[in-house]
Amino acid sequence: MPASYDLIIRNATVASHAGIGPADIGVKDGRTAAIGDLATADAGEVIDASGLHVLPGVIDSQVHFREPGAEHKEDLATGSQAAVLGGVTAVFEMPNTRPSTTTAEALEDKLKRAAGRMWCDHAFYVGASAENAQDLADLEQLPGCSGVKMFMGSSTGDLLVWDDPTVLEVLKHGRRRVAIHAEDEERLKQRKHLADEGGVHQHPVWRDEETALRATTRVLKLAREAGRRIHVLHVTTAEEMALLANHRDIATVEVTPQHLTLAAPDCYDRLGTYAQMNPPIREARHRAALWDAVRAGIVDVIGSDHAPHTAEEKAKPYPQSPSGMPGVQTLLPLLLDHMNAGRLSLERLIDLTSTSAQRIFGIAGKGRLAVGYDADFTVVDLRKSWQIDEKWLASRCGWSPFAGQDIVGKPIGTIIRGQRVMWEDTLIGAPSGQPVRFQEAL
């Protein structure tokens, strides 16, 4: 009797734990069941992936989908449509919604809203505050929670833990890795006049290198004191990378495609407040240092920090304009383009977008293309030349800083637990995203 699968992907170039080469993939009950020559096997569905690469599903561990409270910018349905159209199979969503996700009830509310509406698998961060610090050990164990997020500097929303005693209190409650927005609130307040005195070119002057470095230095010391692992989000400076290289035992590192692609002053000349985000896009010296850190292995993951605001909001005069730009749909295209330009290998791209998320967040059963893991695949045409068109974007905000950019390399398909949810720019079926599970909270 020939082996039988629910789905076989034939004639692909498969990027798995074993390397990159020709293979078929068999899927059964939502999991990868076989990788190899399946020429004699049967299947309910067959996908011919000739000329295409099949990668482990891309995981975006930093997105803001704005629901509840700011659905005019984005919601869980539109944000997750953007994700799967960009080849992303799972997202971790941030807690700076309205209300902030600081309680079990708020987390439960997000999970209920996601059920039957989100297109990709998902988990939600719980936001740290002075009020919930004592509860975080319990909150981080709840199903569907990707961990705790702490804002050390004010950004969009009202989550803030700025002083050392409270940062330490947060770090002492719980065991899982804590995700950190590292900007020093006191320095931001002292220097706010610099923002008020000029246009958007002042953004990286106000929120300068020292603002980021001070917060990262403080949180590393406090994490060591608390014996707690941290994940420093969207690192933007050469100085922080040099520091983080000496703390690899307790700290993991994220960079964003925006910080790897754009540089000041050009981005502010071209895009004005549309290039405004926290921490800011800085000059080319820092962008070069971020690439050095990618090559050196200091960077663990790439997250998009998808942070949509409407064009009307972004067009307000600086500094009333909100910080943040969309990115979940352009994360993989930009990285494929950087790969084709020779800035990173396909193996490193996969490490940054799947394997490392599995490793550092302890995701259960995802993040590897291997037998027994969820059949989450991102199918790409590595050589396709195309242009990012605003009409292709699904985010409710309707714009991208990368619209009009020529790209080599395109997501062709998104397969989640064996179900095709996107093929050639078209959504397939109904939204059936599920909560991601974590090893430390099984």
Tell me which residues touch ligand DOR (CB under 6 A).
Answer: 64, 96, 155-156, 181, 277-278, 307, 323-324
Joined together, the tokens standing for residue 262 give: 């754009």
With respect to ligand DOR, which residue has the nearer C-beta, 27 or 307?
Answer: 307
> From the candidates 60, 121, 300, 305, which is the catalytic residue?
305
Contacts 24+ apart (CB under 8 A), 343-351: 343/291, 343/294, 344/294, 344/295, 346/15, 346/20, 346/53, 346/55, 346/382, 347/15, 347/20, 348/294, 349/55, 350/15, 350/55, 350/56
The candidate with the shortest Cα–Cα distance to 50, out of 13, 16, 25, is 13
In the complex, minimum distance from the CB of residue 202 to ligand DOR, in angstroms, rounded to a whole number = 15
Hey, CA dihedral for 366, 100, 87, 43, is it positive or negative?
positive
The answer to whether the CB of 293 falls within 8 A of the CB of 348 is no
Return the axis-axis angle of helices 209-226 and 164-172, rounded to nearest 10°: 40
SS3 144: coil
Tokens of 182: 């590292």
The nearer residue to ligand DOR, 199 or 429, going by C-beta atoms, is 199
Cis amide prior to 319 (ω within 30 degrees): yes
Q: Which DSSP category does 15 fall into?
A: E
CB of 307 to ligand DOR, least distance (A): 4
The residue (of 16 and 96) whose beta carbon lies closer to ligand DOR is 96
Shortest reach from residue 232's CB to ligand DOR, in Å: 13
> How far, in Å, CA of 107 to CA of 336, rounded?
34
Q: Are 397 and 93 in contact (CB under 8 A)?
A: no
The alpha-helical segments, DSSP class H, found in 38-75 are: none
Q: How far is the CB of 216 from ligand DOR (least distance, A)?
A: 14
Let me know: does 236 contact 178? Beta carbons within 8 Å.
no
Which residue, 275 or 350, is less far from ligand DOR as judged by CB? 275
Q: Are 223 and 171 in contact (CB under 8 A)?
A: yes
Smallest distance, Å, CB 336 to ligand DOR? 24
Nearest CA to 181 among 145, 206, 144, 148? Answer: 148
Position of minimal CB gap to ligand DOR: 324
Rounded to whole angstroms, the Cα distance separating 69 from 152 reads 22
What secondary structure letter does DSSP report for 280? P
413 and 384 in contact (C-beta within 8 Å)?
Answer: no
Q: Which is nearer to ligand DOR, 155 or 216 (CB)?
A: 155
Q: Which is nearer to ligand DOR, 173 or 259 (CB)?
A: 259
On whether the CB atoms of residues 35 and 55 are closer than 8 A, the answer is no
Minimum distance, C-beta of residue 155 to ligand DOR, in the bound complex (Å): 3
Closer of 205 and 408 to ligand DOR (Cβ): 205
Q: How far is the CB of 44 from ligand DOR (least distance, A)?
A: 42
Token pair listed for 48 = 């011919």
- Per the annotation, the verdict on 29 as an active-site residue is no
Instruction: Report how far residue 415's alpha carbon sits from residue 417's, in angstroms, rounded to the nearest whole number.
Output: 7
Alpha carbons 261 and 99: distance in angstroms, whole number: 33
Q: Which is nearer to ligand DOR, 31 or 73 (CB)?
A: 73
- Least distance from C-beta 64 to ligand DOR, angstroms? 4
Half-sphere exposure of 401 (CA within 13 A, CB side): 33
Q: Which is nearer to ligand DOR, 188 or 277 (CB)?
A: 277
Supply the residues annotated as catalytic: 305
